[in-house]
Amino acid sequence: MEYLLKFGKFNNMEIRHNIDRRNFIRVTGATAGGLMLPGYGVFGTGRLTTSDDPLSTRDFWYRKPPNMPYVDSQNKNRAFAFTDSEILLSYDNSHTWRYKRKFEDTQNITFSHIFDNGNVLFGTREKLFLCNKKLKSWKEIIIKDMDGSDYIPHIPKNSDNPGWYFHTIAGINSWEINGKEMLVWGNYANVKGGAVPLNIYYSTDNGKTVKIAYSFGQNPYFSDNGSQGGGSDGNPLGNANNPIICRHIHCVSYNPAEDAFYACTGDGNRPEGWEVHWLRGEYDVALDKWDWQVILTESLNSRYKAGGINFVDGQMYWISDANGPEPHDRGIFRCNPADIANPAAHTKLFDPKYETTRMIIEDGVILAMLPAVASPYTLGIIYSPDMGKTWEVYDIKDFGPFYPSRIQKKNSEGWFKCHLNSGWIDRAEYMFLKPKRLS
């Protein structure tokens, strides 16, 4: 069951107190298991919770459907999912799966995005594919490098570990810019699946072409030695002409007030230099060119080892992933983007006490997640319904220990969706969460 943890005053803001056990609505019967066919709802099959009867806290409803098919991404009323042998598309918020196609490598899918026009871009470990509307067909997409040439993935030392070229932990990766949807994301990698170069990718034509916006340098600590996370005794990967190195990319986000992108990376403090960087990028539509500048480089034990970058009314919000020797510089912060390098100009909205990079802001709701692997929480949720005026921290105990990740915008029924990872990034299950009220 879920408990609401008790906190005291913080920065003169109201934090609601309630440690009573909640009463949950439960369903006494369960329906038959198995893959959902057209006309059958995905929610509740083989579980006690159904789409009509979710569990509840004071702030939100939540539910965890069966894990087959696995819902990987959503956009408005559409959802993209996969089974052991098929990719599927729903046009009714994951209730039914009318459109499906055979695809043999589903278990290696590490990324997907549904464009507003209905195209679906998805990636396995080192390959990228585009499906047109309703999955009528799919084809492999060859990335274009910054000079216009084909960008070909490296030949791995171990074919079982080719690297996660496209995996991301951010839930928002596209924005409408000047009337067109633009997809921009960076890969979170070098943890499992093999060593891999670090890139920021983009598409301005609904996935028909995908290009590299920025390529990080060759990190000697994550070269390809055939192991899951890479090491210092393998083949170097990345842009040999770029001295800026990192382990992986935590987040790329867009600020419409500046017409600029921001990216932050992790993770280590190395003799060659720190790996925590914040970059600011501007895109020239007419020239199809990027200008990226490193605006700060910091220690891993700082508020800048972070993620969850969001922009609301021109203000920047982010959550700290600081670790290393205590004391830890952690929190949910806000500032004017121009003041990002000046900690004195930051407002600390809340102290989550534990490291995390997962946060989203939509319609006045701030939703962040805490990892079971690095906190006392089973499934930790930080929640503010009013842009940080009040806060609550929940520990959802119904489902088991997870690290919620890749929090995606609400679908047309008002449900956020997020992955439930075991450990740091191992895909396990997924859940939905729906606010009960807006600020």
What pLDDT score does 325 carry? 83
Percentage of residues of the chain with pLDDT beyond 90: 85
- With b meaning 16 or more CB within 10 Å and e meaning fewer, what string describes 206-231? bbeebbbbbbbbbbbbbbbbbbebbb
How much is the mean pLDDT over the chain?
Answer: 89
| Residue of 74, 73, 81, 79 lying closest to 91 (CA atoms) | 79
Q: What does the pLDDT look like over 319-344, one tens digit per residue?
A: 999 998 888 999 999 999 999 999 99
* Res 6 pLDDT > 50: no
Percentage of residues of the chain with pLDDT beyond 70: 87
* Res 67 pLDDT > 60: yes
368, 374 Cβ separation under 8 angstroms: no
Q: What does the pLDDT look like over 378-412, one tens digit per residue?
A: 999 999 999 999 999 999 999 999 999 999 999 99
What pLDDT score does 133 carry? 87
| Residue of 241, 148, 160 lying closest to 197 (CA atoms) | 241
Q: What does the pLDDT look like over 301-313, one tens digit per residue?
A: 999 999 999 999 9
Listed ranges 25-39, 49-63, 189-203; the one with the highest mean pLDDT: 189-203
Mean pLDDT of 72-97: 97
* Res 167 pLDDT > 90: yes
Mean pLDDT of 8-14: 37
What pLDDT score does 319 carry? 98
Domain that holds residue 319: 3-435
- Euclidean distance between CA atoms 424 and 434, whole angstroms: 24
Number of compact structural domains in the chain: 1
What pLDDT score does 77 carry? 98
What pLDDT score does 324 carry? 84
* Res 95 pLDDT > 80: yes
What pLDDT score does 438 carry? 60
pTM: 0.89
What pLDDT score does 200 carry? 98
* Res 279 pLDDT > 50: yes
Mean pLDDT of 69-83: 98
What pLDDT score does 94 carry? 96
Mean pLDDT of 16-45: 31
CATH code: domain of residue 351: 2.120.10.60
pLDDT band at 195 (very low <50, low <70, confident <90, very high): very high
* Res 128 pLDDT > 70: yes
